């Protein structure tokens, strides 16, 4: 089987970079990146400047793309948003369901229906497993039911990148799915679910865990996805496996590797504009500090708004906190460090943001505004995590 890739919701190419760093045999045959409502498509343009374009469909709304026109591929990857995955209505001509307009999971599902992709690797936020709050686990249940309906078995893990050597405490849900008709799928049928999670599965091979966990089970009626959307609720743990609608899940613990610290990634010569002094420094101390503020809502209700403190400055002897798209702005989530060379407070630079995510220096220095460089890194995945998974994927696809 050729190692061909389709990358959806590609951003600035974290999946592709991780795969290609691991092996030049991976070949991306199509990608899609479109930021809704934006005149300038900075992430798409950055991607194209590194690898070139494929056709004029890669930078438009994927909902407008005829999925049958996407080239055949053996691996579909993508970091899709966490949205409301509930089923909006029943339609006889759409296998009985139709998802809410604009929800990008349905674009993935449509692609799988059209292309019958053998292997899938997806990334999402860790709260995907628990959402929505009023029906915990429903959204992930809908995703699993859709994949089961299409003939896929699924593994998942919540990975904290810092526990496996990256310079950021970033927890993300990764989903690996494969058609049961593949050689890999047939081989996995004879392995016990516990052993798949513990040591024989995809994620255990890439991210070793401690043994001694307890399994919890449930069943999905994947023949009625509307019913899953309406009634299903389950407490998915941070690891699990699903086959034919039978779900097992467990809370597992990483075998933690040596930490990569924020301080090890800092630049030596930093421009003056990143440093903070005087009144600006006092504002940052206020933003980072604990607060209790009396407020009144629009309907006259009085309440106390409170928030806890954030480390100030950020510790250099630990991995960075989770980077958000607001990084670099005057926002309490932005990293502020005490620069070890000057003993002055400052923001992290765009290059340091790229290093935290595992990209090459100046990866986003492609003409986009500095604000967007931070934004793209806050939206990105941790590239070394993809590199680790790529080696396991390489062997699986090679054996087909």
Q: Answer yes or no: do 333 and 207 share one domain.
A: no
Q: Which CATH number covers residue 128?
A: 3.40.50.150
- In the structure encoding, which two tokens stand for residue 354, read together? 């790229």
How many CB atoms lie under 10 A from the CB of residue 91? Answer: 11
For residue 54, being part of any structural domain is answered with yes
Q: Are residues 233 and 321 located together in one domain of the fold?
A: no
My answer on whether 164 and 55 are in the same domain is yes
Residue 73 lies in a domain: yes
Same domain, 208 and 280: no
**Co-location of 329 and 352 in the same domain:** yes
Q: Look at residue 174 and tell me whether its pLDDT is greater than 60.
A: yes
Q: Are residues 66 and 152 in the same domain?
A: yes
Reported as a single tens digit per residue, the pLDDT across 100-125 is 666 789 999 999 999 999 999 999 99
Same structural domain, 131 and 25: yes
In this structure, are 14 and 56 located in the same domain? Answer: yes
Query: Catalytic residue among 6, 82, 146, 376, which?
Result: 82
Angle between helices 105-115 and 138-149 (to 10 degrees): 10
pLDDT (tens digit per residue) in 67-106:
999 999 999 999 988 777 776 554 444 444 556 666 789 9
Beta strands in the chain (DSSP E): 4-8, 27-31, 75-79, 87-89, 98-99, 119-125, 152-160, 171-179, 216-219, 239-243, 246-250, 275-276, 291-296, 302-307, 336-338, 345-347
- Residue 168 has a pLDDT of 97
Question: Is the pLDDT at 173 greater than 70, yes or no?
Answer: yes
Are residue 190 and residue 85 in the same domain, yes or no?
Answer: yes
Cα gap 339→357, rounded to integer Å: 20
Same domain, 178 and 290: no
Domain-located, residue 167: yes
* Residue 163 counted as domain residue: yes
Give the pLDDT confidence score for residue 24 in this predicted structure. 97
Q: How many domains does the chain have?
A: 2
Q: Does residue 198 share a domain with residue 267? A: no
Residue 356 near residue 265 (C-beta atoms within 8 A): yes
Q: Which domain holds residue 84?
A: 4-256+382-398
Give the bridge partners for 246, in sequence order.
Answer: 219, 243
Q: Are residues 361 and 392 in the same domain?
A: no
How confident is the model at residue 83, as a pLDDT?
A: 73
**Mean pLDDT of the 128-135 span:** 91
Q: Provide the percentage of residues in the chain whose pLDDT is more than 90.
A: 87
Above pLDDT 70, what percent of the chain? Answer: 96
Q: Does some domain include residue 373?
A: no
- Indicate whether 188 belongs to any domain: yes
Render pLDDT for 280-302 as a digit per residue (tens, 0 to 9): 999 999 999 999 999 999 899 99
Mean pLDDT in residue range 355-377: 97
| Catalytic residue status for 82 | yes
**Considering the domain boundaries, does residue 375 fall inside one?**
no
Q: Is residue 374 part of a domain?
A: no
Residue 226: predicted pLDDT: 86
What per-residue confidence (pLDDT) applies to 93?
Answer: 42
Once rounded to an integer, what is the mean pLDDT over residues 379-398? 97
Q: How confident is the model at residue 224 (pLDDT cuts 50, 70, 90)?
A: confident
């Amino acid at each position: 089987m050729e190692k061909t890739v389709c990358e959806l919701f590609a951003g600035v190419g974290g999946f592709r970079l991780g795969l290609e760093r691991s092996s030049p045999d991976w070949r991306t045959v199509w990608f899609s990146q479109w930021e809704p409502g934006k005149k300038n498509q900075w992430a798409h343009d950055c991607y194209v400047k590194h690898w070139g374009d494929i056709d004029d469909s890669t930078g438009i709304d994927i909902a407008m793309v005829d999925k049958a026109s996407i080239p055949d591929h053996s691996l579909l990857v993508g970091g899709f948003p966490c949205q409301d995955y509930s089923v909006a209505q029943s339609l006889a001509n759409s296998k009985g369901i139709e998802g809410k307009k604009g929800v990008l999971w349905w674009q993935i599902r449509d692609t799988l229906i059209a292309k019958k992709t053998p292997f899938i690797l997806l990334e999402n936020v860790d709260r995907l497993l628990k959402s929505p709050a009023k029906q915990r686990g429903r959204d992930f249940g809908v995703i699993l039911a859709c994949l089961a309906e299409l003939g896929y078995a699924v593994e998942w893990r919540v990975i904290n990148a810092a526990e496996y050597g990256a310079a950021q405490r970033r927890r993300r849900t990764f989903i690996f799915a494969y058609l049961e008709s593949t050689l890999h799928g047939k081989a996995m049928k004879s392995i016990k679910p516990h052993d798949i999670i513990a040591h024989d599965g995809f994620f255990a091979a890439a991210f070793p865990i401690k043994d001694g966990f307890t399994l919890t089970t449930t069943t999905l009626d994947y023949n009625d996805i509307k019913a899953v959307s309406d009634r299903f609720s389950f407490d998915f743990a941070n690891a699990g496996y699903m086959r034919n609608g039978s779900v097992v899940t467990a809370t597992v613990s990483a075998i933690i590797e040596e930490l990569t610290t924020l301080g090890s990634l800092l630049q030596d010569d930093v421009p003056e504009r990143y440093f903070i002094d005087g009144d600006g420094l006092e504002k940052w101390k206020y933003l980072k500090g604990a607060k209790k503020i009396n407020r009144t809502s629009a309907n006259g209700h009085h309440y106390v708004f409170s928030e806890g403190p954030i480390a100030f400055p950020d510790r250099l002897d630990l991995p960075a906190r989770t980077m958000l798209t607001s990084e670099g702005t005057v926002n309490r989530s932005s990293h502020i460090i005490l620069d070890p060379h000057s003993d002055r407070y400052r923001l992290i630079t765009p290059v340091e943001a790229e290093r935290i995510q595992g990209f090459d220096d100046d990866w986003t220095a492609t003409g986009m505004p500095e604000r967007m460089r931070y934004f793209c890194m806050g939206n990105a995945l941790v590239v070394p995590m993809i590199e680790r998974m790529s080696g396991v994927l390489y062997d699986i696809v090679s054996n087909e």
